[in-house]
Chain A
Amino acid sequence: MDVSAVSFGGDFFMADDKQIFIALAGNPNSGKTSIFNCLAGANQKVGNFSGVTVEKVEGSFRHRGYTIRLVDLPGTYSLSPYSPEEKVARDFILFQKPDMVVNIVDATNLERNLVLTTQLMDLEVELLIVFNMIDEVEKQKTKIDYRQFEKLFGAHVIPVSAITQFGIRDLLDHIVDIKSGKIETLKYKHQYSDGIEEDIRALSDAIAGRTAWKHLPTRWLAIKLIEHDPDIIAMLKPFPCWASIEESIGSTREKILRFEKKDAEVLLAEERMAFIRGAIKETVVNDEEQRESLTEKIDNILLHRFLGLPVFLLIMYAIFQFTFRLGEYPMLWIDRFFQLITRSLDALIPASMLKSILLDGIIAGVGGVLVFLPNILILFFCISLLEATGYMARVAFVMDKLMHRLGLHGKSFIPMITGFGCTVPALMAARTLRNRGDRITTMMVVPFFSCGAKLPLYTVVISAFFAPSMAGNVLFGIYIFGVLIGLISARLLKSTAFKDESEPFVMELPPYRKPSARSMLSQTWIRAYMYLKKAGTVILLASVIIWFAGTYPKNAELHRHYESLRQQAAADIVSLDRQEKAQQLPYSFAGRIGKFFEPLSRPLGFDWRLNIALINGLAAKEIVVSTMGTIYAIGDVDSDFRTLAESLRSDPHYSKATGLSFMIFVLLYVPCIASVAVFFRESSSKKWTFLFVLYTLSVAWLGAFAVYQISTLLGL
Chain B
Amino acid sequence: MIMQDPHREPIPLSEAEVGSCYRVLSVNATGVIRQRMLDMGLVPGVCLTVLRFAPLGDPIEIRINRFFMSLRREEARFVQVLPVAICPRPHHGRFRRFFRGGFFHGGR
| A interface, CB within 8 angstroms of B | 77-78, 80, 82, 108-109, 111-112, 115, 230, 262, 265-266, 269-270, 273-274, 289-290, 292-293, 295-297, 299-301, 303-309, 312, 393, 397-402, 404, 410, 504-511
Contact = CB atoms under 8 A, between A and B. Distances in A.
B72 A273 contact: no
A589 B69 CA distance: 59
Nearest to B44: A270
Contacts of B45: 270, 273-274
A112 B64 contact: yes
Nearest to A410: B59
Contact of B72 (A112, A115, A305, A504): A504
Contacts of B27: 266
A504 B41 contact: no
A397 B61 CA distance: 9
11 contacts: A109-B67, A265-B35, A270-B43, A290-B66, A292-B91, A305-B53, A308-B54, A399-B56, A401-B54, A506-B37, A509-B61
Given A303-B55, A401-B58, A402-B56, A508 B38 contact: no
A404 B39 CA distance: 23
A25 to B, nearest CB: 14
Given A115-B41, A273-B45, 5 more contacts: A112-B41, A266-B34, A404-B72, A504-B72, A505-B71
Nearest to B92: A292
Nearest 9 A-B pairs (CB), nearest first? Answer: A300-B106, A78-B39, A401-B58, A308-B55, A269-B38, A401-B56, A509-B68, A505-B72, A273-B43
Contacts of B34: 265-266
Given A505-B70, A509-B70, A510-B68, A401 B106 contact: no
B67 A111 contact: yes
Interface in B46-94: 46, 51-59, 61, 63-72, 75, 88-91
A402 B32 CA distance: 24
Interface of B: 26-27, 31-41, 43-46, 51-59, 61, 63-72, 75, 88-91, 101, 103, 105-106
Most chain A beta-carbon neighbours within 10 Å: one of B44, B51, B68, B71: B68
Most buried by A among B53, B58, B89: B58
Given A269-B38, A296-B51, A506-B36, A304 B66 contact: no
Nearest to B66: A109
Contact of A77 (B33, B40, B59, B89): B40
Contacts of A230: 31-32
A309 B41 contact: no
A226 to B, nearest CB: 13
A111 B90 CA distance: 21
Given A301-B106, A397-B70, A109 B65 contact: yes
Nearest to A81: B32
Nearest to B72: A505
A83 B88 CA distance: 32
Given A112-B41, A397-B61, A82 B35 contact: yes
Contacts of B58: 400-401, 404
Given A269-B38, A270-B45, A108 B66 contact: yes
B56 A398 contact: yes
A289 B89 CA distance: 8
A304 B106 contact: yes
